[in-house]
Amino acid sequence: MESPINHSLDARRLLCPMPVIKVQQLIDELGKGAIGDTIEVICTDPGALYDIPAWAKIHGHKLIETHEENHEYYITIEICDA
């Protein structure tokens, strides 16, 4: 079994619903081989702090953490089902 990969997604300057759409597109592109990998999403839209975790829960992914730094929002999820 391969070690999980940590992916990064820059969704800065994108407004709802685009950060969520970008996460979904990345997970679709990565495919089943990415189960167990993490994605750190960097956003400037504060709504993403609610939208991405809600989307992840609905789609079977795990929220690892969220935090704010210098007016940017970081959301890390683990891909649990692709």
Task: Choose among 20, 13, 18, 58: nearest CA to 39.
Answer: 20
Q: Are the C-beta atoms of 39 and 72 separated by less than 8 Å?
A: no
Q: Is 16 marked active-site?
A: yes
Of 5, 7, 15, 16, which is the active-site residue? 16
Active-site positions? Answer: 16
